[in-house]
Amino acid sequence: MSKIQMTSLERVLKTLGQEEPDRVPMFLMLTMHGAKELGMTIKEYFSKAENVVEGQLKLRKKYNNDCIYSFFYAAVEIEAWGGEVIYFEDGPPNSGEPFIRSFDQINNISIPDIRNTACLGKVLTAIESLKANVENEVPIIGVAMSPYSLPVMQLGFEKYLELLYYKPKEFSRLMKVNEAFCISWANAQLEAGATAICYFDPLASPTIIEKEMYKKTGFEVAKRVIPQINGPTATHLASGRATSVIDELVATGTFIAGISSLDDIDKAKEAANKRLTLLGNLNGLEMIDWKIGQAEIEVKNIIRKGGKDGGLIVSDNHGEIPWQVSDDVLLEVSEAVKKWGNYPLDWI
């Protein structure tokens, strides 16, 4: 007997409980594609909360997505600090020149006033409107950059590595400020109506920083921050390998781990051991060149390896699907999840 069809929120909650819902949930992390739906440039699209709301609702309907993604762009947090944002015609807005140019500046910076910062206000307005539209039908995913990873944009990667390895006092000071900002920003999104927060922390991955350094630094940051976020979190390593740090991610209290296309799902599922849910791991860059039929193969393989007993959400591996990924590929991903993701997975 087939199971009663669940709402997206019910489906996700069942999955987080390490149980089998009606089918495997699918999170298409679409941001810029909303601009395509509305026939706008990326810059124009992100200029108004109303555009993002309309775009997200259209994308949800088009692809039968199991989440609403209220993420604008990572550099919105840098914009809030007064930093530069650079727009592109075919890619996400990025941060410009780092606004922290010397380590001495760290002693004098203070967090933005979240409620009175225009760029953050747009995000909160979008979340409020999205919540009014979808109510409790589908989870709304907010985003906060990890205090540990944000300095890549605040200082630039090379200068941040110098801070991390050779300037412990300044590092500690910057973490204190960034932690206060992250907690306030995440909680403001939850208060506006977000269901959960994606805690982007690419530097937690051994792909970027060796594990021992992460355990002494970013791991301690996450253990302080995540318990102060007033809702569930999903820690995403933005394409970085996750399997070898799953024990640490579990210890932070997060509910979901975003895994890389480089992670073996079998091993990641074994490491998670029902302690958290896996999110992934379609290769977003490769999706750009997929031919008809490839999406179904990839989705089927992910579900075969990680779908049994719940604890899996099919998604891309980076947390943002590239602008260049076609509608046809995205529609095929959606159809493949519906075809192969229905529980019980008798075909495995």
User: Per-residue pLDDT tens for 284-342?
Assistant: 999 999 999 999 999 999 999 999 999 999 999 999 999 999 999 999 999 999 999 99
Nearest of 290, 281, 274, 294 to residue 325 by alpha carbon: 290
Chain center to CA of 177: 22
Q: Using an 8 Å Cβ cutoff, are 201 and 146 in contact?
A: yes
Q: What distance in Å separates the CA atoms of residue 24 and residue 45, rounded to the nearest whole number?
A: 31
Tokens of 306: 């990680």
Q: What is the CA radius of gyration of the chain?
A: 19
Please state the rounded mean pLDDT for residues 127-137: 98
Where do the domains of the chain lie, and which CATH numbers do they carry? 8-340 (3.20.20.210)
Please state the rounded mean pLDDT for residues 135-143: 98
Please state the rounded mean pLDDT for residues 74-84: 96
Q: What is the pLDDT of residue 3?
A: 66
Q: Is the pLDDT of residue 110 over 50?
A: yes
Q: Is the pLDDT of residue 218 over 60?
A: yes
Cα distances (angstroms) measured from residue 129 to each of 132, 140, 165, 229, 267: 5, 11, 43, 22, 40
Query: pLDDT over 70 for what percent of the chain?
Result: 99
Write down the pTM of the prediction.
Answer: 0.97
Q: What is the pLDDT of residue 4?
A: 85
DSSP 234: E
Tokens of 340: 């192969």
Q: Is the pLDDT of residue 34 over 70?
A: yes
Q: What is the pLDDT of residue 183?
A: 98
Tokens of 136: 């409790």
Tokens of 154: 């605040």
Please state the rounded mean pLDDT for residues 52-58: 98
Average pLDDT of the chain is: 97
Q: What distance in Å separates the CA atoms of residue 76 and residue 322, rounded to the nearest whole number?
A: 18
Q: What is the pLDDT of residue 1?
A: 45
Q: What is the pLDDT of residues 160-212, one digit of tens each?
A: 999 999 999 999 999 999 999 999 999 999 999 999 999 999 999 999 999 99
Please state the rounded mean pLDDT for residues 117-123: 98
Q: What is the pLDDT of residue 208?
A: 96
Q: What is the pLDDT of residue 345?
A: 97
Q: Is the pLDDT of residue 268 over 90?
A: yes
Nearest of 30, 79, 90, 86 to residue 58 by alpha carbon: 30
Q: What distance in Å separates the CA atoms of residue 248 and residue 145, rounded to the nearest whole number?
A: 18
Q: Using an 8 Å Cβ cutoff, are 269 and 306 in contact?
A: yes
DSSP 141: E
